[in-house]
Structure 1
Amino acid sequence: MRKLLYVLTAVLLFMQVAHAAGPELRSDHPDRYTVVKGDTLWDISSRFLDNPWYWPEIWHANPQVENPHLIYPGDVLALVYIDGQPRVTKVARSNNGVVKLSPKVRSTPIDTPVPTIPLDAIEGFLSDTRIVDPEVLDAAPYVLEGEDSRIVTGAGDRIYARGKTDADSLGVFRRNKAYHDPDTNEFLGLEAKSIGAADVKETNGEVLTLMLKRTDEEVRIGDRLLPTEDRRISPTFTPSAPDSDIDGTMIAVEGGVTQIGQYDVVVVNRGTREGLKPGNVLAVFQAGNTVTDPYTKEAVKLPDERAGLMMIFQSYEKMSYGLILKASRTLAVGDRVGNP
């Protein structure tokens, strides 16, 4: 009989844990919310949920409205219950301005869909960053010199390079950081920093003549030329929890700052092979201190403490870039990241 009680208790505990692992409404959630310009999907989901990464489970795409999966400024969102479960859906306004669940087709577009996170925090970063294989960068054409034998050049100048390419437009890149896993020393990727862009004007064997059309820094001898690529990202990826267990580390922060806070871009040593994808939300855990036991003099490691949230916005095979969305204390390189 006692064994049966143990089994029943274990089953009830499991059911409670399973039930808790899902969307949790905020105690002060709105029943209606009108989206305003400047809102992000993260902002909106945070108004309704204590755990915004469960937004996909609470969002109900109304099939009767235009673009049911996109949210625009001016849209009205309503908290409704379907089969007893809370759902957030997009509703429309009637001609007299009263909100109703039956939709009215939008006759003119309202701005653009709200982005998931503040794009101005990452757009410049994306345009200045590319992860490449070292072999690809080493095989790329490189700058020989500028016109009039100049060793540094800028926008509007002519430059000469050596190498082969079929592209009409090339980006100018400079070798930047090589990332390694702090635990295994595995090579994760090479960061190539964007310096500018140039158009190919003439090809003479292996010598290329190019005109610099944009530069962020002075172009130098030895800078590499890579084909330009469409680096626009979708602003509408959805906040979500990772599908797999993630246990990683923040290994770098953009800009070289020592203290990491909200809207800083960070690098983590986990990527697509571990199941990370854009939109995944990770918790950041600050490493616990190591203290000395006052009696035994042994070193005792204190537990890590949850200190923030980040969202992955670009992932490669072995590493990813994320944006810090929330920090309850100062974060640092070396802090652990994991499932929220």
Structure 2
Amino acid sequence: MFKKLATLCLAYLLSAAAAAAVIEVSKDAPDNYTVRKGDTLWDIAGLYLENPWQWPHLWQQNPAIENPHLIYPGDALRLSWDEGRPALSLATGERLTKQLPISSASQSVLKQFLTFDTLIGEAEFGLAPRVLGSQDGWSYISTRTPFFIDASVESENWFIYRPVTTFERTENDQMLKMISLKKVAEAKLVRVHDDISELKLVKQSQEVRPNDILLPALGVKTGSVFHPQTAPSGLEGNLIGHLYGSKYVGLRQIVVVDRGAEDGVKAGHALSVQQPGAVLKGVKGDMRYESGIDSAAAPVLTQLPDQRAGMLLVIKSYPHFSLAMVVDATQPLSAPMLVTSAEG
């Protein structure tokens, strides 16, 4: 009973704190705006807010509208004020559009990374069927060449992936791993030969090689519409790399964060990427960067403050890791970098 009461009190305090949060409206925020095809929720949130992750506090759902959480091209938005607090709502009480709702971020980018498996757990990776090769022994397999895999399978349609990068984090002295996959082709089952199956390619973006892995073609697993919102207060983690191993990442690229659903992270959460401040040593009037002097001879140490280097929008969460899109960056980002819940 006490635990339940404490939980209710905590929920009340958190909701009260959220309600009391100062919503900073952009200086150039328009009173009225008509949503256009190609707009994203992040774009519109940034149009109206200094901190786009405060979107849930600004957007006023209209109970008379079917699917009030969604915004569509053609929707007329109106900014109003109630006792000094801003509110954004639909200017009309009905929708005539038959178009799809706008996505949270770039639809072309989201479609690529939400339609297919892009991270896979170590256990699932170990069990996935592998490409053995073709009858004629070619190193690269084309759409004209039947090929074989090392398993007897039943599913008719398959996606073929190439493993790219392994990501790791330690949790309770246990090493957790996920492997990033890059889709290279699609295939269809031809026949099964005991413990080997024969397939043919039906579509490919790259050549298929022996040891590529296969996963059933299950289609879209995650929607592309989720609201920008504040991540759990006090959350800290790390940007641990570009999904496909690039050293530097910039706008609209996808990165991996070592926090996931079990840490309270979900699609739509905004994360701040922090650039650590430089360390200086020396004495007053003769301070130098730490790397350029003898530390033993420099008793005074000064740590410059961290600075925000970018913003991430989580697009998909796994139990212990997440995929996030870079939606703002003041410099090229490079792992590892600290990420925190966006405040404000």
TM-score (normalizing by structure 2): 0.82
Partner of 1:46: 46
Q: CA deviation at 1:116?
A: 0.9
- Find the aligned partners of 2:258 and 2:135 in 1 and give their Cα distance: 42
- 304, 310, 314: which one pairs with 2:312? 310
Matched, 1:257 2:258: no
- RMSD of the TM alignment (CA)? 2.5
Aligned 1:20-99 pairs, distance under 5 A: 21-82=21-82, 85-92=85-92
Contact kept, 8 Å, 1:188 with 1:319, in 2: the verdict is no
Give distance in 2, aligned partners of 1:286 and 1:20: 29
Q: Distance in 1 between matches of 2:328 and 2:255?
A: 13
TM-superposed deviation, 1:326:
0.9
Residues 230-269 of structure 1 show CA distances to partners (whole Å, capped at 9, x for unaligned) of 2353222000001342111111014543333221211111
- Tell me how far apart the structure 1 counterparts of residues 193 and 29 of structure 2 sit (CA, whole Å): 66
Deviation at 1:128, TM superposition (A): 6.2
**3-state SS of the aligned residue for 1:141?**
coil
Match of residue 180 from structure 1: 168
The 8 Å contact of residues 68 and 90 in structure 1, kept in 2 or not, is answered as no
Contact kept in structure 2, 1:268 and 1:322, CA below 8 Å: yes
Task: Give the whole-Å Cα distance in 2 for the aligned partners of 1:168 and 1:49.
Answer: 48
Indicate conservation of the 8 Å contact 1:156/1:213, yes or no.
Answer: no
- Where do residues 321-332 of structure 1 align in structure 2 (5 Å cutoff)? 321-332=323-334
Secondary structure of 2:43 counterpart: helix
Counterpart Cα distance in 2 of 1:49 and 1:228: 40
Q: Is the 8 A contact 1:122 1:265 kept in 2?
A: no
1:206 to 174, 195, 201: 195
* 1: CA distance, partners of 2:231 / 2:38: 26
Instruction: Quote the residue 1:14 is aligned against.
Output: none
Identity between Structure 1 and Structure 2 (%): 30
CA distance in 2, matches of 1:148, 1:66: 58
Aligned to 2:224: 235
Counterpart secondary structure, 2:70: coil
CA deviations over 1:8-51 (Å, ceiling 9, x no partner):
xxxxxxxxx98763422223322111112221111111121111
1:96 maps to which residue? none
Distance 2:251 2:39 in 1: 16
- Contact 1:182–1:251 (CA<8 Å) still a contact in 2? no
SS in 2 for 1:293: strand
Measure, in 2, the Cα distance between the counterparts of 1:104 and 1:202.
Answer: 53
Q: Write the deviation string for residues 28-87 of structure 1: whole angstroms up to 9, x where unpaired.
A: 322111112221111111121111111112211222334432211221101123566321
* Structure 1 Cα separation of the partners of residues 309 and 231 of structure 2: 19
Shift of 1:216: 2.3
SS in 1 for 2:56: helix
Check if 1:122 corresponds to 2:97: no
Displacement of 1:162 after TM fit? Answer: 2.1
How far apart are the structure 1 equivalents of 2:143 and 2:233?
A: 46
Return the alpha-carbon distance in structure 1 between the equivalents of residues 124 and 94 of structure 2.
52
In 2: Cα distance, 1:257 partner to 1:162 partner: 31
Contact kept, 8 Å, 2:165 with 2:244, in 1: the verdict is no
Alignment check: 8 A CA contact 1:127 1:194 kept: no
Q: Read off the aligned partner of 1:160 and give its amino acid letter.
A: F
Please identify, of 305-314 and 65-74, the stretch whose mean Cα deviation from structure 2 is larger: 65-74
Q: State how far apart, in whole Å, the 2-side matches of 1:337 and 1:105 are.
A: 39
Q: Work out the CA distance in 1 between the residues paired with 2:20 and 2:94.
A: 37
Count of residues paired in the alignment: 312
The one-letter code matched in structure 1 to 2:224 is P
Match of 1:246 in 2: 235
Range with bigger deviation, 131-140 or 114-123: 131-140
Change (3 A) 1:75 1:18: closer
Q: 1:150 and 1:25 mapped to 2: Cα distance?
A: 61
Asked whether 1:158 is paired with 2:160, we answer no
User: What is the one-letter code of the residue matched to 2:89?
Assistant: T
By how many angstroms is 1:163 displaced? 1.0
For the structure 1 residues 29 and 210, does the alpha-carbon distance in structure 2 shift closer, same or farther, using more than 3 Å as the test? same
Higher relative contact order (CA 8 A, sep 6+): 2
CA–CA separation in structure 2 for the residues paired with 1:19 and 1:230: 39
Listed one character per residue, the Cα deviations across residues 275-299 of structure 1 (whole Å, up to 9, x for unaligned) are 1000000111111112222366145
